[in-house]
């Protein structure tokens, strides 16, 4: 390693810096709006690149809902007739009915996975790299969330593409109108996962997450059966389903897929997003947060 060439390269680093007015020994300009956007873009871009590189994750994210669609739904097709309920205008196949629920499941899995990876990241150091960025911590967390949601959008649209050939054919404009709903539900599930993973230690292994979060949320919701059917068998379960935020995420997606808005679900999803994200910011705040209470940098 020759110091001579190192110094020359140091000069060019300096020159590159001077073009925009910061370099060695120069006080950098305060971070403007454009810098904020750059940061968000960078975090999202990294998350998508990482996702595309992890082939197993890509496949399992796709195979999981397809197994439900191809096998589970086929089996239950005869048993569970679904009557005409909004937003559907005709009798629909059971596959069509559970598609929004499976989309919700994709987002739920993705949210839990990316939040858990943030907990693991803290130990491997990638999280620390993120947190020494000069942007406010709440903004970095929000960017992480948006990145997670972007990955879930990729997964959902891939799923919808395959599902199209399985007779799940929402109107063409539905693919567009579902987008805002997907973003909202993704943000809600993401911030929920972030909040939970930062306060509940036991959730650090995925089996625990499956048993205590994903399964209960998924089954006690309108993902697999219409709520009126649940009410027929158990009023209590019906009520549980109604306070389950996942139900509302699914309903929001279901209506949006047909160009309609379920206002109640929209309000519930927005409220839960705000609450969970507030909680997550609190949990990652260095002075109040749980990082401190949990001990050392390696996590004790």
Partner 1 sequence: MNMVSEPNVKTEAGPALVVDNVSHRFGETLALNDVSLEVPRGAFVVLLGLNGAGKSTLFALITRLYDNVTGEVRILGHDVRRRASAALQRLGVVFQGRTLDIDLSLKQNLLYHCALHGISGREARARSKSALEFVELADRANEKVRNLSGGQARRVEIARSLLHCPALLLLDEPTVGLDIDSRESAVKIVRSLVAKEGLGVLWATHLFDEVELTDLVVVLHKGRVLFSGAVTEFLEKTGTKTVSDAFRALTGITDTELAA
Contact residues for partner 1, defined by CB under 8 A: 1, 3, 5-7, 9-10, 12-17, 19-20, 22-26, 28, 30-32, 34-36, 38-39, 41-43, 45-46, 49-50, 53-54, 123-126, 128-136, 286-287, 289, 291-292, 295-298, 300
Q: Which is nearer to partner 1, 41 or 201 (CB)?
A: 41
Q: How far is the CB of 106 from partner 1 (least distance, A)?
A: 22
Q: How far is the CB of 145 from partner 1 (least distance, A)?
A: 16
Q: Which is nearer to partner 1, 130 or 182 (CB)?
A: 130
Q: How far is the CB of 215 from partner 1 (least distance, A)?
A: 30
Which DSSP symbol is given to 297?
A: T
Instruction: Report the sign of the C-alpha dihedral through residues 218, 219, 220, 221, in that order.
Output: positive
Q: Which is nearer to partner 1, 81 or 286 (CB)?
A: 286
Q: Give Rg (Cα) of the chain.
A: 22
For residue 279, give the nearest of 183, 204, 198 by alpha carbon: 198
CA distance 65 to 101: 9
CA distance 155 to 161: 10
Q: How far is the CB of 146 from partner 1 (least distance, A)?
A: 13
DSSP code string of 104-162: HHHHHHHHHHHHHHHHHHHHHTHHHHHHTSSS-HHHHHHHHHHHHHHHHHHHHHHHHHH
Question: Tokens at residue 132, please?
Answer: 């020494």
Q: Which is nearer to partner 1, 36 or 157 (CB)?
A: 36
CA distance 10 to 5: 9
Which DSSP symbol is given to 296?
A: S
Q: Which is nearer to partner 1, 50 or 231 (CB)?
A: 50
Q: Which is nearer to partner 1, 234 or 294 (CB)?
A: 294
Q: How far is the CB of 197 from partner 1 (least distance, A)?
A: 17
Q: How far is the CB of 29 from partner 1 (least distance, A)?
A: 9
């Amino acid at each position: 390693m020759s110091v001579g060439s190192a110094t020359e390269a140091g000069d060019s680093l300096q020159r590159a810096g001077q073009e925009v007015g910061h370099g060695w020994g120069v006080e950098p300009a305060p971070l403007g709006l454009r810098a904020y956007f750059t940061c968000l873009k960078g975090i999202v871009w990294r998350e998508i690149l990482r996702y595309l590189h992890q082939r197993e994750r890509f496949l399992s994210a796709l195979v999981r809902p397809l197994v439900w669609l191809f096998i589970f739904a086929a089996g239950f097709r005869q048993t569970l007739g679904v009557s005409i309920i909004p937003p559907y205008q005709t009798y629909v196949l059971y596959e069509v009915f559970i598609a929004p629920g499976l989309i919700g499941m994709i987002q739920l899995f993705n949210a839990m996975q990316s939040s858990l990876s943030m907990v693991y990241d803290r130990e491997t150091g990638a999280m620390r790299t993120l947190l020494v960025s000069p942007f406010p911590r709440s903004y970095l967390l929000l960017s992480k969330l948006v990145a997670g949601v972007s990955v879930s959008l990729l997964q959902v649209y891939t799923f919808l593409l395959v599902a199209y050939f399985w007779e799940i054919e929402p109107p063409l404009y539905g693919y567009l109108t579902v987008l805002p709903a997907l973003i909202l539900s993704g943000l809600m599930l993401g911030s929920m996962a972030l909040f939970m993973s930062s306060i509940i230690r036991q959730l650090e292994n995925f089996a625990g997450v499956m048993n205590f979060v994903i399964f209960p949320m998924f089954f006690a919701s309108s993902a697999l059966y219409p709520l009126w059917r649940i009410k027929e068998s158990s009023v209590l379960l019906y009520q549980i389903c109604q306070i389950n935020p996942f139900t509302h995420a699914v309903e929001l997606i279901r209506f949006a897929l047909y160009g309609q808005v379920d206002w109640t679900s929209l309000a519930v999803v927005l409220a839960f997003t705000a609450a969970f994200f507030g909680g997550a910011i609190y949990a990652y705040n260095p002075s109040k947060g749980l990082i401190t209470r949990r001990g050392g940098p390696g996590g004790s």
